[in-house]
Chain A
Amino acid sequence: DAGITQSPRHKVTETGTPVTLRCHQTENHRYMYWYRQDPGHGLRLIHYSYGVKDTDKGEVSDGYSVSRSKTEDFLLTLESATSSQTSVYFCASSTSGRASHAGRGFREQFFGPGTRLTVL
């Protein structure tokens, strides 16, 4: 499986403070993604990246920004955290569309372990 880590794993912060979550992958994957998981909503895409310095918005991007200065790192920033951003955040990565990975489907995304963020 792809080596993908997230830091921190848990964070408690106060409303109005900036927060940055880090995702690091060691598979040289081109694509990286940030999702949030909330009860009753499943996994929703926040932002994604299709290469270094190439990013785009997902379904629920308001209040979030991202940066990707290196292939292996994808940062998610909450400029001014709100209680509605309390959630579990997952990072994922995938290789290019037409390449297979270990014989599996070529659009498989590999997920990190998640970051539980609480905004008080």
Chain B
Amino acid sequence: DQQVKQNSPSLSVQEGRISILNCDYTNSMFDYFLWYKKYPAEGPTFLISISSIKDKNEDGRFTVFLNKSAKHLSLHIVPSQPGDSAVYFCAASVQGGSEKLVFGKGTKLTVNP
């Protein structure tokens, strides 16, 4: 049973436009959510996170929105740049769960010049 779902395997956008990556979860005990970015042949790197007590967190061009009632979060990248082309993983964790993360399958973002 997949607890964290990224239903879009890929997304293509034009440079300068907004990229919106979506993530749904099923476990209501998740209280912290993270986005990771991964380039080919490299390990994932942390991008941005949000606690369940918030509904929005911004960091420069990146904003994560959390809708707890819908069990949905999204990552907005504005404006998108070609260097943002990567695989993006959504992850979630439960407080007191040995800091384990449950990852989605990832969405491959391609930003076209």
A residues engaging B (CB < 8 A)? 1, 31, 33, 35, 40-45, 48, 50, 56, 58, 90, 92, 94, 96-97, 104-105, 107-114
Contact = CB atoms under 8 A, between A and B. Distances in A.
15 contacts: A35-B103, A42-B89, A42-B103, A42-B106, A43-B89, A45-B102, A56-B98, A105-B32, A107-B32, A107-B34, A107-B93, A107-B101, A111-B36, A111-B43, A111-B44
Interface of A (DSSP majority class): strand
B98 A48 contact: yes
- The interface centre, meaning the residue of A41, A108, A110 with most chain B CB atoms within 10 A of its CB, is A108
A104 B49 contact: yes
Interface size class of B (residues with CB under 8 A): 20 to 34
Contacts of A104: 46, 49
Given A31-B98, A105-B46, 12 more contacts: A1-B45, A42-B106, A50-B98, A56-B98, A105-B32, A105-B49, A107-B34, A108-B34, A109-B46, A111-B43, A111-B44, A111-B45
Given A48-B100, A107-B34, A97 B95 contact: yes
B70 interface: no
A81 B96 CA distance: 33
